[in-house]
């Protein structure tokens, strides 16, 4: 990891939303998506080094607030994130987040960053990184079902990393589809607005579902899914929230990030606790098989995991030094004598 060296050891680099957006444009959105995917893939290859635990969730009727911690033994990271589907109707984001990296050796934070924009980027980068291993060879078309805040990021990541050329959009809200189509115009994709989920899936080798309602939903029924497709299911991400008919899960080979979390929050919460799944890190390091045949249905039951956020924060930390796209926060008390915190407070009293 690059080590940032602010002028004062107690100052912590902070990447605001404004600076994150500037960083994306400074690097370029597709190069950044590829870079994030490379960092995530590299950390999946060293998966066994990380502390792993299901995210710590506080659920309410309105949504969920979660902490997602991990460490590779040298650096600790966590993300604070919420998920409140009703927020959209009130003009608020469904998901907001921030994250932190800290030095394990002394416990000092070394980066604080917004993660609302960064989570959208890392989620899309993870989807496309996985699809690189699981999607049918030569896949060029994706159905994007659910055209909310993730849809453009998912589409561009699949273009940048997997080479898709066409995205077929569908949302129950036509205004969301129009928004996504407008945002993707001129981005190098053929964009098709569709009137139903079935229509969006015509000719698609990759099917991405990303809906927001917190309920057991059936966005895809069994008869909608033919042989040979890759399903990227990213909308079901908490207990009681799913998108796929159970029969699809029975027909598909299922790939997950961390089973202990996915069995609680993912599509597989609908299945028996011992239903077989494959962990993606094993596919990436070659100890498990991914796609084995053209007829196989592969399903990435993605709920997001802390290591992906760690990777994204690591990427940001390595790319902001020298950019000027952060500010130093006076976040940590740093008395000259570490034992004299009270003396430092007294010396700060007004004259």
Chain length of the chain: 351
Question: What mean pLDDT do residues 8-35 have?
Answer: 94
Q: Place 85 in a pLDDT band, splitting at 50, 70 and 90.
A: confident
Q: What is the pLDDT of residue 237?
A: 65
If DSSP codes are grouped into helix, strand and coil, which group holds residue 232? strand
Question: What mean pLDDT do residues 114-141 have?
Answer: 97
Q: Single out the catalytic residue among 72, 171, 237, 309.
A: 237
Q: What are phi and psi of 305, to 5 degrees?
A: -140, 155
CA angle 190, 194, 199 (to 5 degrees): 105
Q: What is the pLDDT of residue 95?
A: 86
The rounded percent of the chain whose pLDDT value lies above 70 is: 95
Q: What six digits make up the tokens of 286? A: 């070659």
Burial tier of 279 (Cβ tally within 10 Å: 0-12, 13-18, 19+): middle
Query: Of 90, 93, 159, 170, which Cα lies nearest the Cα of 128?
Result: 159
Task: Give the domains, in start order, of the chain with CATH numbers.
Answer: 11-117+307-347 (3.30.1780.10), 126-305 (3.40.50.720)
Is 51 a known active-site residue? Answer: no
pLDDT above 50 (res 1): no
- Helices marked H in 135-273: 151-157, 174-184, 197-200, 246-251, 259-265
CA 35 – CA 46 distance, rounded (Å): 17
What does pTM read for this prediction? 0.93
């Amino acid at each position: 990891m690059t080590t940032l060296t602010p002028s004062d050891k107690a100052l912590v680099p902070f990447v605001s939303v404004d600076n994150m957006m500037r960083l994306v444009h400074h690097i370029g959105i597709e190069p950044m998506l590829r870079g994030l995917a490379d960092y995530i893939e590299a950390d999946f290859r060293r998966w066994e080094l990380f502390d792993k635990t299901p995210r710590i969730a506080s659920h309410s009727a309105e949504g969920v607030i979660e902490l997602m911690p991990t460490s590779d033994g040298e650096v600790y990271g966590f993300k604070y994130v919420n998920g409140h589907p009703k927020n959209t109707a009130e003009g608020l984001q469904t998901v907001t987040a921030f994250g932190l990296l800290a030095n394990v050796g002394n416990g000092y934070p070394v980066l604080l960053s917004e993660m609302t924009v960064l989570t959208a980027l890392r989620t899309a980068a993870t989807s496309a990184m996985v699809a690189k291993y699981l999607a049918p060879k030569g896949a060029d078309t994706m159905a994007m079902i659910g055209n909310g805040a993730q849809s453009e990021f998912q589409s561009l990541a699949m273009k940048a990393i997997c080479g898709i050329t066409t995205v077929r959009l569908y949302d129950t809200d036509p205004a969301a589809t129009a928004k996504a189509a407008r945002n993707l115009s001129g981005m190098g994709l053929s964009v098709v607005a569709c009137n139903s989920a079935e229509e969006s899936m015509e000719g698609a080798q990759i099917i991405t579902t990303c809906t927001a309602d917190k309920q057991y939903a059936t966005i895809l029924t069994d008869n909608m899914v033919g042989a040979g497709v890759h399903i990227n299911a990213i909308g079901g991400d908490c207990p009681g929230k799913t998108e796929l008919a159970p029969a699809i899960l029975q027909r598909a080979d299922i790939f997950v990030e961390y089973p202990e979390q996915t069995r609680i929050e993912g599509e597989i919460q609908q299945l028996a606790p011992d239903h077989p799944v494959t962990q993606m890190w094993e596919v990436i390091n070659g100890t498990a098989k991914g796609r084995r045949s053209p007829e196989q249905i592969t399903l990435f039951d993605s709920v997001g995991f802390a290591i992906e956020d760690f990777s994204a924060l690591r990427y940001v930390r390595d790319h902001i030094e020298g950019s000027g796209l952060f500010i130093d926060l006076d976040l940590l008390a740093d008395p000259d004598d570490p034992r004299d915190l009270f003396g430092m407070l007294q010396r700060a009293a007004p004259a």
